[in-house]
Structure 1
Amino acid sequence: MTPIALFSPEPARGWLPWVWLAPILLIVFVAAPVIALDGWMQAQHWSDARGYPIGLAGLYALLWFTFAPTLLLVLAWTRWIERRPIRSLGFVAPAPLKTFLQGVAIGVGTITLVVFSIWAAGGLRAEGWGSAWRSPASLLHIALLLPSFALQSSVEEIIFRGWLLSTVARKASVWLAVLLVSLVFTFLHYSPHQPWLITMSSFLFSLFACAWVLRTGNIWGAMGWHTGWNWWLATGFELPVTGIDAHLPALLVALRPQGMDALTGGAEGPEGSFLCVGFFVVGIAWIAWRRRRATVSSLQVERSPG
């Protein structure tokens, strides 16, 4: 195993956790705010006994009140315990806003591809077009959900593909880091008795995001992609995102599942479909091919006569 400083060569002047401890720390960073706020969230009628959001207010509370503290915990740990720059978590793109917005566009495009593939295969039926445009209140909430999902999605990329990936890579190797990141990501998105396709989709989602950040050398694009994917799935089609319903009319077309869960994704939404799994497999292979081609081209340039 060859340790490597991803994103930034600047050293950690503090203590880097052992490889086995880093995933446990991440689970603590995620679970601590959830456990601390669980009783209060239920008292406000924003979440049920299982922690699922209740209505639109509950969704806002979930996206803001549970993810913001996790972000602060990880940033504080990086700055004061590991004593390395925050930019070493992947904040190193030359044009971060442009890179993020490009990622958002790709996220919207890719989840649209997955949804329309399920529709074309007969797993979804249309029940009305653009009903959100007839409701100013719905349009306002859809607009407010964009920064809300941007926070949630960005925090997940920062803690998984930023902090955990770079921390383990500095102690062990990139390949072990990718494996641990994806296993922990899948574990934290796991529900008892869920279909194996949903578990596989979560694991491949993480592998795809890892491949993205390793290919680009930063997390800005993956943050944008994750944001666009979640927001457009929640608001564009009246479909659940990771099993959560936004309770808003569709910006584009209201779709209803029909047929077997393996095709539609069932209660999970399109992310639980085998077509989504197929998309991630193809996407990972394409990024790996692009990375390999870039490496070969670089070696050819180095070996060419001066």
Structure 2
Amino acid sequence: MNLKTIYSTSPARGWLPWGLLAPVVCLALALVTEIPAGLILEPYVDPTGEPVGAQGLMAVLLVSFIAWMLAVAAWIAFVERRNAGTIGLTRGGGAAGFSRGLVGGLVMASAVVACIWWAGAYEPGALFPALQSPGALVAIAGLFVSFIVQASIEEIIFRGWLTSAITRRMNLIWAVVLSSLLFTLLHSSRENTWIVTVNILLFASFLSAWSIYSNNIWGAMGWHAGWNWLLATGFEVPVTGLDAGVPALAVSLVPAGPGFLTGGEQGPEGSVICTLFLVCGIIFFAWRIARKPKDGKADHNKPSGAQI
């Protein structure tokens, strides 16, 4: 594993920010785009800024993240002048990688919820209540698209652009640490328990390990999308503390156990069971990275991807 490059060795023809400056640039672009996005989102959020219903959540996922992605894409194209392959959007295998990741996210989310249920921390309610409402199914389908957009953009920004930029200026270890810490910061709040904060950091580390092993971000994008969507729509439980506002696609679950098992207001992502799954996932990909041939499966000497 080359600690000075990741995804592609195709050079940046512009200016790469210094390693410690890259997270600051990422944060600044997020803050700058939050202002126009907030104006557009006013009809879809309550006075506290929380999305109102499924329509509000879809609006937040699409408007906020697309605005941020446009700013980052402009930075990559006009300041760093790098191609898409250097941020993990490599040519070939994208659809297959994303699809495998999507299935993996659905399976892992289901397994976490099932284990919490098996531990006695959930009481089951109605089965497939969403099937009784055509409007709910439309909303769930809209959320599926919205979560694909949101999750893909987060992976492009954190595991794609930010990780690769820091790697080129410092090394891969620093890149994973700094990008994961910034991801944790932007997903944290004062109300979060320490388990929630640890899980956010593990979440970022898990997806970093997956991206490093596969030498692209396609699988991580799919996993992130499947995970978020199923937790939000499958069981009427919160995802990252948000209520999707739709009946359960699979089974309605009511918390009946301690917060360290159910995750409380954060949902399964705040559960110690989620902690165990993420730790196992990190160990699995670390083991696969260690066993991977040093030259990898990809040809690192060839530029890849189209210009953004």
Which TM-score bucket, shorter chain as reference? Answer: over 0.9
Residue 18 of structure 2 corresponds to residue 18 of structure 1:
yes
- Which amino acid in structure 1 is aligned with residue 41 of structure 2? M
Q: Displacement, 1:144? A: 1.3
Residue 261 of structure 2 corresponds to residue 263 of structure 1:
yes
Residue 68 of structure 2 corresponds to residue 31 of structure 1:
no
- Residue 87 (structure 1) aligns with: 85
Aligned residues: 295
Residue 115 of structure 2 corresponds to residue 117 of structure 1:
yes
- 1:167-219 CA distance string (max 9 Å, x none): 00000010000000110000000101320000000000000000000000000
CA contact under 8 A between 2:41 and 2:63: conserved in structure 1?
A: no
- Residue 96 (structure 1) aligns with: 94
- Of 228, 246, 270, 1:230 maps to 228
Distance 1:139 1:235 in 2: 10
- Of 282, 290, 293, 2:291 maps to 293
Q: Displacement, 1:38? A: 2.4
- Residue 155 (structure 2) aligns with: 157
Q: Displacement, 1:47? A: 1.5
Indicate the SS of the match to 1:128.
Answer: strand
CA contact under 8 A between 2:5 and 2:172: conserved in structure 1?
A: no
CA contact under 8 A between 2:84 and 2:90: conserved in structure 1?
A: no
- Which amino acid in structure 2 is aligned with residue 185 of structure 1? F
Q: Which runs of 5+ in 1 are unaligned?
A: 299-306
Q: Displacement, 1:39? A: 4.3
**CA distance change for structure 1 residues 296 and 3 in 2, over 3 Å: closer, same or farther?**
closer
TM-score by length of 2: 0.92
- Which amino acid in structure 1 is aligned with residue 34 of structure 2? V
CA contact under 8 A between 1:55 and 1:246: conserved in structure 2?
A: yes
Deviates more, 1:176-185 or 1:140-149: 140-149
- 1:80-111 CA distance string (max 9 Å, x none): 10011122110115221111111110000001
- Which amino acid in structure 2 is aligned with residue 258 of structure 1? A
- Residue 302 (structure 1) aligns with: none
- Which amino acid in structure 2 is aligned with residue 245 of structure 1? D
Q: Displacement, 1:18? A: 1.0
Q: Displacement, 1:37? A: 3.0
Indicate the SS of the match to 2:192.
Answer: coil
**CA distance change for structure 1 residues 296 and 91 in 2, over 3 Å: closer, same or farther?**
closer
Residue 240 of structure 2 corresponds to residue 242 of structure 1:
yes
Distance 1:176 1:218 in 2: 18
Residue 265 of structure 2 corresponds to residue 275 of structure 1:
no
CA contact under 8 A between 2:54 and 2:143: conserved in structure 1?
A: no
CA contact under 8 A between 1:93 and 1:99: conserved in structure 2?
A: no
Distance 1:41 1:291 in 2: 42
Q: Displacement, 1:3? A: 5.5
Indicate the SS of the match to 2:292.
Answer: helix
Distance 1:33 1:249 in 2: 32
Structure 1 runs (4+) deviating above 4 angstroms are none
Identical amino acids, percent of aligned pairs = 43
Indicate the SS of the match to 2:247.
Answer: coil
Residue 195 of structure 2 corresponds to residue 197 of structure 1:
yes
Q: Which runs of 5+ in 2 are unaligned?
A: 297-308
- Of 51, 54, 69, 1:53 maps to 51
Q: Displacement, 1:293? A: 2.2
Root mean square deviation of aligned Cα: 1.6
Q: Displacement, 1:270? A: 0.2
CA contact under 8 A between 2:37 and 2:67: conserved in structure 1?
A: no
- Which amino acid in structure 2 is aligned with residue 12 of structure 1? A
- Which amino acid in structure 2 is aligned with residue 108 of structure 1? L
CA contact under 8 A between 2:130 and 2:249: conserved in structure 1?
A: yes
TM-score by length of 1: 0.93
Q: Give the helix-richer structure, 1 or 2.
A: 1
> What are the equivalent positions in structure 2 for 1:181-192 lying under 5 Å apart?
181-192=179-190
